[in-house]
Chain A
Amino acid sequence: MAVRPAYFVREAASNLGRNFLMFVAAAVAVAISLSLFGAVLLFQRIVSNVTTQWQNDVVMNVFLKDDAAANSADVKRIGEEIQGYKEVKGVTYVTKNEAYDEFRTMFGNQPELVESVTPETLPASFRVSLNDNDTLETVQDRIRTISGVDEVNSAVEQVKSIQRVLTYLQVGVMIAGIVLLVSSVVLISNTIRLAIFARRKEIAIMKLVGATNWFIRWPFLLEGAAAGIVGVGLAVALTFLIRYLLTGWESIRFVPLNIPFGYMLWPVTIVLVLVAMLISVGGTAWALRRYLDV
């Protein structure tokens, strides 16, 4: 049988014209669900940036009891013990005076706070950085048992809670994306169903005179694909608009976005195109199976 691409395209276009609003609705649904999808992909990158950045900065503060800090042998012993752990990357000693200097710099705009402390009131400490931040808690527990150590703290809890919030946010956006994904499958399938309904007489005659099943299906498949293509085009634009807005957003400045413009343009686009193909082919195939009895 002669292949008639021009014929199929013409028929698909006329289907599309007949139910234009329905087609637009389907394409927009595809666009929105895919944008959320794309946003999640970009979001993941932000989360991993945040995590690495903050984890690199995680430093344990090991505060010493005043009597230990006063004894240089104790200071040496504690420092060497911590340095001896294989998880530990580096140790720096911060004397009471150095701590006071830092304090003064940090709170220089609050003189009355600086007034209220003297070098003596601040504890001496070791700043400990680790090779692998996952070992932070075990190392922290071990250091606590060393005599002369008063208190150990780190920003690990804060980092963890921020990570948790970001993860919930991601899951939420993902779920919304999936719900919309399903609804766009339904919308595409409904668009095709209407197109089939509008053409039921022609389809009956096509079957009667011996048109092949694929000949009958092609225009509908093309219409479904068109909804997917328009949708994915909008989605890629929207995703990168979201990304652009995110970098310009004041309150997120503190978050190290580190996404150069155009970053993941192709990976994101390819993923979105694949998902769009899945949606449109799935929705169309569903409608054809249910309503096109060929």
Chain B
Amino acid sequence: MIRLEHVSKTYETNNVVALNDITLDIKKGEFVFLVGPSGSGKSTLLKMLTCEVTPDRGRMWVAGKELGSLSSWKIPYLRRNIGSIFQDFKLLPSKTVYENVAFALEVIGRPRHVIQSQVPQILELVGLTKKATHRPDQLSGGEQQRVSIARAFVNRPLILLADEPTGNLDPNTSIGIMRLLDRINRTGTTVVMATHDQSIVDSMRRRVVELEPGGILVRDQARGVYGYGA
């Protein structure tokens, strides 16, 4: 589903090496934690998968497409196969929960009847049916993250990318979010999650890919834990 071959990236503006010769293969339906300190290139790696950042060297495949040979007008269509969630949720404050989720379908031109049937479905999945008419500022952090997951998953993408989704949430709320991501993963969706949250990684025991500063892959462990020797 995702494949990187000798991928490197150096940011020209500050000459920082973000990723250094990364080779990685993620199969369909896997759940992968991406761990490592700040500046180890986790976010860069996720941004490369959505073509927001292009590698200097190396080749990448996402959802069967080689990104290097993908013309720019096809990038939006690739992104429809990838859902993304973030630490700061990135919800539109002026829209209701329902509208925030529907927006993701509207702007890719889905017909109204599809939107009207899929949005309530996904809101039920994330447990927000009763809050459909609320605005983001009327919701707790955990609820807001659920909205953003609903928005990312409403189009049933093949891949879900999560950049520190629990970074702003308390431990109990985080567990709820992880249950939801696990549930989404069980539907066959590949999940890649960058995180600093040790307890989550250690309790879930999924594949762990560790990067260290300078963008070097130092560990790729099935059913791994957050740190060495834990």
Which residues from chain A sit less than 8 Å from chain B, CB to CB? 1-4, 7, 201-202, 204-213, 215-216
Q: Which residue of chain A has the shortest Cβ distance to B78 in the bound complex?
A: A210
What B residues does A204 contact at CB under 8 A?
Answer: 90
User: Beyond the given A205-B90, A209-B108, A215-B109, could you list 8 further A-B residue pairs with CB under 8 A, ordered by the A residue number?
Assistant: A2-B110, A204-B90, A205-B107, A205-B151, A209-B79, A209-B80, A209-B103, A210-B82
Inter-subunit contact A205/B92 (CB<8 Å): yes
23 inter-chain pairs at a CB distance below 8 angstroms, sorted by A residue, are A1-B109, A4-B106, A4-B109, A202-B92, A202-B103, A205-B90, A205-B92, A205-B107, A206-B107, A207-B76, A207-B79, A208-B50, A208-B84, A209-B107, A209-B152, A210-B77, A210-B79, A210-B82, A210-B108, A211-B76, A213-B73, A215-B107, A215-B109
Instruction: Mark each residue of chain B from 95 to 109: 1 if its CB lies under 8 Å from any CB of chain A, else 0.
Output: 000000001101111
**In the complex, which of the residues A7, A204, A208 has the most CB atoms of chain B within 10 Å of its own CB atom?**
A208
Which residues from chain B sit less than 8 Å from chain A, CB to CB? 50, 73, 76-80, 82, 84, 90, 92, 103-104, 106-111, 151-152, 155
What B residues does A205 contact at CB under 8 A?
Answer: 90, 92, 103-104, 107, 151
What A residues does B106 contact at CB under 8 A?
Answer: 4, 7
What A residues does B79 contact at CB under 8 A?
Answer: 207-210
Could you tell me the distance in whole angstroms from the C-beta of B6 to the nearest C-beta in chain A? 27
Could you tell me the distance in whole angstroms from the C-beta of B122 to the nearest C-beta in chain A? 13
What B residues does A208 contact at CB under 8 A?
Answer: 50, 79, 84, 90
What B residues does A206 contact at CB under 8 A?
Answer: 107
Main secondary structure of the interface of A (DSSP, over half): helix
Smallest CB-CB A-B distances: 6 pairs: A210-B79, A210-B80, A211-B107, A1-B109, A209-B104, A2-B109
What A residues does B111 contact at CB under 8 A?
Answer: 2
Main secondary structure of the interface of B (DSSP, over half): mixed
- A172 CA / B19 CA spacing, docked (Å): 60
Could you tell me the distance in whole angstroms from the C-beta of A102 to the nearest C-beta in chain B? 81
Partner of A201, one of B73, B77, B90, B109: B90
- A212 CA / B76 CA spacing, docked (Å): 5
Could you tell me the distance in whole angstroms from the C-beta of B94 to the nearest C-beta in chain A? 9
**In the complex, which of the residues A205, A210, A216 has the most CB atoms of chain B within 10 Å of its own CB atom?**
A210
- A7 CA / B102 CA spacing, docked (Å): 13
What A residues does B110 contact at CB under 8 A?
Answer: 2
**In the complex, which of the residues A2, A3, A209, A213 has the most CB atoms of chain B within 10 Å of its own CB atom?**
A209
Q: Which residue of chain B has the shortest Cβ distance to A208 in the bound complex?
A: B84
What A residues does B76 contact at CB under 8 A?
Answer: 207, 210-213
What A residues does B73 contact at CB under 8 A?
Answer: 212-213
Could you tell me the distance in whole angstroms from the C-beta of A12 to the nearest C-beta in chain B? 15
What B residues does A2 contact at CB under 8 A?
Answer: 109-111
- A1 CA / B111 CA spacing, docked (Å): 10
- A212 CA / B106 CA spacing, docked (Å): 12
What A residues does B103 contact at CB under 8 A?
Answer: 202, 205, 209
Could you tell me the distance in whole angstroms from the C-beta of B61 to the nearest C-beta in chain A? 18
- A212 CA / B108 CA spacing, docked (Å): 7
What B residues does A213 contact at CB under 8 A?
Answer: 73, 76
Could you tell me the distance in whole angstroms from the C-beta of A212 to the nearest C-beta in chain B? 5
Inter-subunit contact B90/A211 (CB<8 Å): no
What A residues does B90 contact at CB under 8 A?
Answer: 201, 204-205, 208
**In the complex, which of the residues A3, A201, A204 has the most CB atoms of chain B within 10 Å of its own CB atom?**
A201
- A210 CA / B63 CA spacing, docked (Å): 14
- A110 CA / B48 CA spacing, docked (Å): 96
Inter-subunit contact A1/B50 (CB<8 Å): no
Inter-subunit contact B155/A209 (CB<8 Å): yes
- A1 CA / B109 CA spacing, docked (Å): 6
Q: Which residue of chain A has the shortest Cβ distance to B104 in the bound complex?
A: A209
Could you tell me the distance in whole angstroms from the C-beta of A130 to the nearest C-beta in chain B? 66
Q: Which residue of chain B has the shortest Cβ distance to A212 in the bound complex?
A: B76
What A residues does B104 contact at CB under 8 A?
Answer: 205, 209
